[in-house]
Structure 1
């Protein structure tokens, strides 16, 4: 991660672009993408409002995308039968959508759009990017290894440190793959000049997508930044 700290004063957040290229995209200020995970207590309505307000200080446009595909995987890994896992996932997605709506309203900033991940699955750009991610899972060992590490961490945080079985690990990989188009090329998906995807943690896939010259990598106009509260205690939560 770059040691360049772009802000500690606006709305109490710090921003750490991953690389020099990411820093340059951040500095353009075209667009910020906030990804929200269902079932993650970090993304309260208040936190979403704070992120939106902070983002609009730096970026011309802000979009929020929340996952609503393969969410049942996390509940299946916790032992829910398939139908119960689907019901619980639907409830969590609905709760997440309401938090986003409330957070955006509370932020009181214009030009903020909110989307479900499934809103994009019919687009040619999404299908192309998702297909590239699936191909890389089959042919690119570093990409596959980083994705599986990310999936293990995702599930372990919901299993109190337990080991997920292969079926649930595969489902978690599908969950991650469904989100990857927004780490690869948000400009192609949302029609913006450039974009910074932000999250409060550096992810295992960050170095693969933004730090190498071979294999699958992010588009030139795509950046990644860890954006977290300036108070370290405020950001301590599961991924």
Structure 2
């Protein structure tokens, strides 16, 4: 097994998310493209943390709408495609290496791109529902609009507002990831699942609110997992 260099602090978003964390059935750890936070060692350390705390772990890296996002930020089509290919090649290697080092038989640890879920019936159903909600649910649309504005803040010259094209690409990216925030158990066939990321999920406030509306399933949880100082075992 590869040597681990980091321990992690874990903050479940709600008390019910803590219950799901304590169950330890499954964790999905999201790995973002183009994010320097996800070094080779950190991806391996996150996977090792997952295996210590959960029966099954999925490392899922985003590979959808990457070229389109670079285009939206002003790159030409050729350069956008080249950057996307380079970033995804490196990301795939980090995930593949972590699985090979920690669980070569893949009995408990799996690594896959988000695009591998596109043919999954539960994923497809949720994705269709999200497209409908964008057109019909004001609360969901408001949250998505805030996400678009936050993403493009300081990324556009002179803080210009996002164009219609930029907004559409960003929303497509958000909606591609959102099913894993809503109901990973239905998609991957696990009893419960904790979605783990180093930042608060952008939809968390909406998904874990009380009352009607777009909500995470009862078997879905979210936790913020961040590196803790060496020797601090909190959250392990």
TM-score bin (small chain): 0.7 to 0.9
What does residue 67 of structure 2 align with?
A: 72
Gaps in structure 2 of 5+ consecutive residues: 230-236
Residue of 169, 174, 177 corresponding to 2:175 = 177
The number of aligned residues is 222
Does 2:201 correspond to 1:206? no
* Partner SS for 1:217: coil
Residue of 68, 74, 82 corresponding to 2:77 = 82
Contact conserved, 1:34 with 1:199, CA < 8 A, in 2?
yes
What does residue 129 of structure 1 align with?
A: 126
Contact conserved, 1:137 with 1:143, CA < 8 A, in 2?
yes
Q: CA deviation at 1:207?
A: 0.9
Whole-angstrom CA distance in 1 between matches of 2:147 and 2:116: 24
Whole-angstrom CA distance in 2 between matches of 1:137 and 1:131: 10
TM-score by length of 1: 0.85
What does residue 220 of structure 1 align with?
A: 218
Contact conserved, 1:150 with 1:203, CA < 8 A, in 2?
no
Contact conserved, 2:6 with 2:42, CA < 8 A, in 1?
no
What does residue 236 of structure 1 align with?
A: none
Q: CA deviation at 1:213?
A: 2.2
* Partner SS for 1:64: strand
> Greater relative contact order (Cα 8 A, min sep 6): structure 1 or 2?
2
* Partner SS for 1:196: strand
What does residue 32 of structure 2 align with?
A: 37
Contact conserved, 1:48 with 1:104, CA < 8 A, in 2?
no
TM-score by length of 2: 0.86
What does residue 233 of structure 2 align with?
A: none
Q: What's the C-alpha RMSD, in Å, of the aligned pairs?
A: 2.1
Whole-angstrom CA distance in 1 between matches of 2:202 and 2:43: 23
Q: CA deviation at 1:78?
A: 2.5
The structure with the largest alpha-carbon Rg is 2
Residue of 12, 30, 38 corresponding to 1:17 = 12
Contact conserved, 1:30 with 1:59, CA < 8 A, in 2?
yes
CA gap 1:40/1:120 in 2 versus in 1, 3 angstroms: same
Q: CA deviation at 1:105?
A: 3.3
Gaps in structure 1 of 5+ consecutive residues: 1-9, 232-239
CA gap 1:161/1:124 in 2 versus in 1, 3 angstroms: farther
Does 2:117 correspond to 1:120? yes
Q: CA deviation at 1:32?
A: 0.4
Q: CA deviation at 1:228?
A: 0.7
